[in-house]
Amino acid sequence: MIVARVSPFLFILFAFLSPASAQAPNADLIAKGQYLATAGDCVACHTTPGGTPFVGGRAFKLPFGTIYSRNITPDKETGIGSWSDDEFITAMQKGVAKGGEHLYPAFPYTAYTKLSRDDVLAIKAYLFSLTPVKNATPEDALSFPFNQRWALAFWNILFNPDKRFEADPKQSADWNRGAYLVEGLEHCGECHTPRRFTQSLNNSQKFAGAVTQGWMAYNITADSDSGVGGWSDDALASYLSTGHADGHSSAAGPMLEAVNDSLSHLTAQDIHAIVVYLRSAAPIKTVTAVAQNPPARSAATPPTADLGAQIFAGECANCHGWDGIGVQSPYASMVGSRTLNDSAATNLMAVLIGGSGAPSSDRPRFMPPFGVGRSDDQLSAVANFVNSYFGNGGSKITADDVAKARKALP
Ligand code: HEC
Ligand code: HEC
Ligand code: HEC
């Protein structure tokens, strides 16, 4: 090997001369940045399903076309390797990329803008410690006038606060930490707060629930019926850190991703802070309410000729049980789940079409997708059946609704 013949002296000399190593950020800063990047869940959006983390290319369907997340590894050509501190700060706080290109708020800079400069630079230090990967992400497919990115400058003036978080001295340290996480890094409102037609968040309906990419992010205000006001602190903490709370729900879809990639890695203290802050969100009553659950079902197969019940018997009962409490694991319990009590059945269809959980690592939590091989008629029949048998009985979805749900999902 050639390397072996080079004098070690040369390496030492190069180490001295190389500006990169002279300024190498210390391990503490990188570790801090890693925790913050995890809380910010950068990886969820900047990775394609099953792809290399942070290399981008994940598609975002917007009402007017498709954009793709970008490569944020430190590759100099296709990633952010040549970005200065200030260029990175400008992207995170103002949504403007190196070179002045305006970014779409599908990248939640309107939330990240609340982060302190130190925290953003810690995230940069972490990203720059990753192996650079060459990966050119696909070109956007935006229709006119939405491909005119400069117009976003006006949007930003109206809708990007471009302000750092300021602690409220009247509130506890936990509340303030929770606010920083929920409003900034974790950007919960990006999914849980409905948008106006301008695509800006409608904060008069803060956390009252919204549909994005075919999934309903439920009402998480303190309303006891349609929100999470009726959940105990422990149930909320358990849901956020493990993806499941007994008697309530198991997280699926984008929320399961948020739990797996981000929330499950947070300290118990940070989860507690998030719960404290969520509790203070003004209660808002919405139509997606958990109605009275039906009486407890027995484990015996009921006699019925209903198409949905027959599909349930053949395809679902071995995992979910006729009592609905889950055969292999409590994660498969349908009792008390919001998904079974939402008459629009948005997430019920999404779970049926795409499945849920992880196939290999966590077997008892895996539900296979039924979207392939099952017709829209069959899926609407089984959806209406489980809603009527285990939930509020309000769902009357049609084959057409299933067809629409298929299109809305990424
Ligand atoms: C909800 C999805 C989402 C999350 C979460 C997210 N991003 Fe992005 N990001 C995007 C999308 C989409 C784009 C491209 C936007 C566009 O094309 O206008 C982008 C663009 C960027 C860019 C601009 C890159 C370039 O080459 O122009 C940077 C930098 C960036 N993100 C960093 C981050 C960091 C750091 C985090 C975590 C703290 C993060 N992003 C979290 C979706 C996301
Ligand atoms: C990427 C989008 C997204 C983000 C970010 C997100 N959520 Fe969710 N959340 C969802 C979706 C979708 C569901 C419904 C999941 C399901 O049906 O299994 C959900 C469900 C929930 C539920 C369960 C509600 C119920 O009644 O069953 C809670 C609680 C919750 N989210 C809290 C949060 C908090 C707190 C944050 C921020 C720390 C957050 N979410 C961030 C999309 C998101
Ligand atoms: C191999 C076992 C398995 C099969 C078969 C299966 N499921 Fe599931 N199902 C699960 C598991 C495990 C979960 C929880 C996944 C998670 O953690 O997100 C789940 C979740 C669900 C949920 C969401 C519950 C909630 O709290 O949000 C619904 C609804 C559902 N399944 C319905 C069905 C229907 C209807 C069928 C038949 C067409 C079916 N399942 C077939 C294992 C299965």
Question: pLDDT per residue over 321-343, tens digit each?
Answer: 999 888 878 888 888 889 999 99
Residue 37 within a domain? yes
Residue 154 within a domain? yes
Domain edge (last residue) among 102, 127, 159: 159
- Taking residues 269-288, report their average pLDDT: 93
Task: Report residue 311: phi and psi, to 5°.
Answer: -65, -40
Residue 145 within a domain? yes
Considering the domain architecture, whether residues 196 and 265 belong to the same structural domain is answered as yes
* pTM listed for this prediction: 0.92
Considering the domain architecture, whether residues 181 and 213 belong to the same structural domain is answered as yes
Considering the domain architecture, whether residues 181 and 93 belong to the same structural domain is answered as no
Residue 6 within a domain? no
Domain with 219, as residue range(s), is: 173-279
Beta strands in 77-214 (DSSP E): 141-142, 210-212
Considering the domain architecture, whether residues 30 and 143 belong to the same structural domain is answered as yes
Amino acid at 140: D
pLDDT per residue as tens digits for the range 378-400: 999 999 999 999 998 889 999 99
- Which numbered atom of ligand 1 lies nearest the CA of 40? 38
- Which mutation among 181, 182, 191 tests ligand 2's pocket best, with the greatest number of atoms within 8 A of CB? 191
pLDDT band, very low/low/confident/very high, at 361 (cuts 50, 70, 90)? low
How many domains is the chain partitioned into structurally? 3
Considering the domain architecture, whether residues 264 and 385 belong to the same structural domain is answered as no
Q: Whose CA is nearest to atom 39 of ligand 2?
A: 188
CATH number at residue 337: 1.10.760.10
Considering the domain architecture, whether residues 199 and 274 belong to the same structural domain is answered as yes
Å from CA of 46 to ligand 1 middle: 7
Considering the domain architecture, whether residues 269 and 147 belong to the same structural domain is answered as no
Residue 225 within a domain? yes
Considering the domain architecture, whether residues 202 and 78 belong to the same structural domain is answered as no
- Taking residues 210-220, report their average pLDDT: 94
Residue 287 within a domain? no
**Strand pairing partners for 53?**
none
CA distance 250 to 331: 6
Residue 218 within a domain? yes
Q: Where are the alpha helices (DSSP H) in 108-246?
A: 109-112, 117-128, 152-159, 173-179, 189-192, 233-242
CA distance 399 to 214: 16
Count of CB atoms within 10 A of residue 309's CB? 22
- Which mutation among 293, 316, 363, 374 tests ligand 3's pocket best, with the greatest number of atoms within 8 A of CB? 316
